[in-house]
Amino acid sequence: MATDFGGLVGVENGLISRRIFIEPKIYAQELERIFARCWLFLCHETQIPQPGGFFHDLHGRGPGPGGARRRRPGSAFLNICSHRGNRLCRADAGNAATFTCAYHGWTYGNDGRLVGVPYLKEAYYGELQRERCGLESVAQLDSYKGLLLATVDPQAPPLREYLGKATWYLDVFFDRREGGIEVVVGTHT
């Protein structure tokens, strides 16, 4: 259900009601219209320089698209165990060959494949189709000037098209010195 923003945003005087930050209906619309449809910044490639490196961040309500995992080529997955939906990776960044869910111990390779299930034969009688239980990949992953961005919307336009004329501003900032930029250690949330 759409919310009437007419009384919340005063374009003529530049005032915005504080209600936009606390109303559940507005937040629900942001999740649907922004986080579920837009290209979201995950991290800069210098934050995951090594194969097996990962970076995790929250977007919208929950854990996905939660991060990028560096392998060749790079990949990004929703940070949700495919078994029971538990948050999988709890660290903000690091390097790992696998990710293990703290709930039931399902283990995933950094390529998203399900590689380990405790008591596979006893609990699933050997019938679990592990190839169908991997992590959910983002719909699209791309980079611009070292910025890794993803969208969960398979119908979203390609990244360059989505950025449009905003690439000029990114170019001005990221091309200030030869070799581009490097993100310093640490996160800002």
26 belongs to a structural domain: no
124 belongs to a structural domain: yes
Q: For the chain, what is the domain count? A: 1
15 belongs to a structural domain: no
Note every long-range contact of 129-133, with CB atoms under 8 Å and residues 24 or more positions apart, other chains counting.
Answer: 133/82, 133/83, 133/106
Per-residue CA distances from 157 to 33, 45, 79 (Å): 15, 22, 23
Domain, as residue range, for 55? 40-167
187 belongs to a structural domain: no
Strand 75-77 with 93-95, pairing = unpaired
- Exposure b/e, 13-36, CB count within 10 A at least 16 = b: eeeeeeeeeeeeebeeeeeeeebe
21 belongs to a structural domain: no
185 belongs to a structural domain: no
The pLDDT of residue 189? 57
**CA-to-CA distance for 68 and 66, rounded, in angstroms?**
7
Q: What is the CATH number of the domain that holds 59?
A: 2.102.10.10
Q: What is the pLDDT along the chain (189 residues), one digit of tens a residue?
A: 555 666 788 878 888 888 888 888 888 888 788 777 789 888 888 888 788 888 776 665 454 444 444 444 468 888 889 998 888 888 878 888 899 999 999 999 988 999 999 999 999 988 999 999 999 888 999 999 988 899 888 999 999 999 999 999 999 888 887 777 777 766 655
28 belongs to a structural domain: no
84 belongs to a structural domain: yes
